[in-house]
């Protein structure tokens, strides 16, 4: 039975990247039902470019910049297809990318999300991510990041989660996690950008939803071309803390609290040693704001954990999924 696909591309001042991104979507051997660009109040010529050159793209033009999570949520709410595909504006897909995702989801109905094989655009032959992992110390990561691609990630296999730079999700799975938030949105907009996909991965896993890495779904990504800098450092500093205390099952959180605190202290000490760098000052501020957010985080935690459907042992095994 054929599946339908909505590709959602959040965009902020990405006019220089949109042609490469959208041309790669137009070249897919399997056409999506729709491609939606959510423009997050860009001040460049993004909206005009879309109107003049890409009339087949549905454009949602936000009047106020709400950052990545809010833009993606708008796209998900507007999407019509059975499968929701998130795609960065600074990424480009190989022609068979969507067909490889489609084959995976049709052949394996037990799989709820598909992680792409994402290569570094500016370093040909090197990986950005082959699916994502999460550790009990509250530190997420990309499998294979900055490794030379020698075929070590050429096997389809289950992973903890997908990097939202290029990921596909069954609508049913996303609709299920809406009840984690009072606003009924899929992504946690308080995270704004960075780790919003990690948070989604954790919440999907708490409900027993599964993610498969598909190496045939090949994408090239200009890493941090539309992000990075002090904003990235701040958000990572804050959101590492928020996501761990919001999403980890109670037994795992308690037994790994010391390792979580040690990892955070390690980041703090590194930042203090490099205080002359604006990025490290931003990370320290992010950590402080993450601690200040803990009362609100713990309140939201109750809602997230109330929907947990898996055992502690099952979740521990997920944290130990293969990482090379």
| Residue-wise pLDDT tens digits, 36-70 | 999 999 999 999 999 999 999 999 999 988 789 99
Mean pLDDT of 94-112: 98
Structure tokens at 72: 């993606």
Tokens 């042992």 locate to 313
Confidence band of 225 (pLDDT split at 50, 70, 90): low
Q: CB–CB of 148/119 below 8 Å?
A: no
Mean pLDDT of 167-187: 95
The answer for residues whose C-beta is within 8 angstroms of residue 275's C-beta and 6 or more apart is: 281, 284
The CA R_g of the chain, rounded to the nearest whole Å, is 19
Mean pLDDT of 92-97: 98
* Whole-number pLDDT of residue 224: 64
Helix extents (H) in 115-228: 171-177, 196-206
Q: How many CB atoms lie within 10 A of CB 151?
A: 7
264 pLDDT higher than 80: yes
Mean pLDDT of 4-21: 97
Q: For the ranges 158-167, 182-191, 264-273, 313-322, which has the lowest average pLDDT?
A: 313-322
Q: How many CA atoms lie within 13 A of 291 on its CB side?
A: 10
193 pLDDT higher than 90: no
Confidence band of 320 (pLDDT split at 50, 70, 90): confident
Mean pLDDT of 233-245: 96
- Domains identified in the chain and CATH numbers: 5-221 (3.90.550.10), 229-308 (no CATH)
Structure tokens at 239: 């959101």
* Whole-number pLDDT of residue 324: 56
Mean pLDDT of 129-136: 96
Strand 166-170 to 211-221 pairing: unpaired
């Amino acid at each position: 039975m054929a599946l339908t696909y909505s590709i959602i591309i959040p965009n902020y001042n990405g006019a220089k990247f949109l042609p490469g991104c959208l041309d790669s979507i137009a070249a897919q051997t399997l056409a999506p039902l729709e491609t939606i660009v959510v423009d997050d109040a860009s001040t460049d010529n993004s909206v005009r470019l879309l109107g003049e050159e890409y009339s087949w793209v549905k454009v949602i033009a936000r009047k106020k910049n709400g950052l990545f999570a809010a833009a993606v949520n708008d796209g998900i709410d507007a999407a019509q297809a059975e499968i929701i595909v998130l795609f960065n504006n600074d990424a480009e897909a190989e022609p068979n990318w969507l067909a490889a995702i489609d084959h995976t989801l049709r052949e394996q109905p037990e799989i709820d999300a598909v992680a792409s094989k994402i290569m570094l655009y500016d370093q040909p032959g090197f990986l950005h991510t082959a699916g994502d992992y999460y550790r009990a110390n509250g530190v997420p990561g990309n499998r294979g990041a900055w490794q030379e691609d020698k075929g070590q990630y050429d096997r389809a296999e289950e992973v903890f989660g997908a990097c939202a730079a290029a990921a596909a999700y069954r609508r049913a799975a996303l609709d299920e996690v809406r009840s984690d938030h009072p606003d009924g949105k899929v992504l946690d907009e308080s995270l704004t950008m960075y780790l919003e996909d990690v948070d989604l991965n954790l919440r999907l896993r708490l409900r027993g939803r599964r993610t498969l890495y598909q190496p045939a779904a090949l994408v090239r990504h200009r890493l941090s071309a539309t992000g990075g800098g002090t904003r990235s450092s701040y958000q990572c500093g804050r959101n590492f803390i928020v996501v761990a205390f919001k999403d980890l099952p109670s037994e795992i959180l308690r037994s790994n609290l010391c390792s979580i605190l040690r990892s955070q202290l390690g980041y703090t000490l590194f930042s203090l040693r490099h205080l002359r760098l604006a990025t490290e000052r931003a990370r320290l501020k992010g950590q402080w704001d993450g601690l200040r957010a803990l009362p609100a985080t713990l309140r939201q935690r109750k809602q997230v954990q109330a929907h947990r459907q898996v055992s502690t042992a099952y979740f521990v095994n997920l944290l130990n999924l293969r990482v090379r």
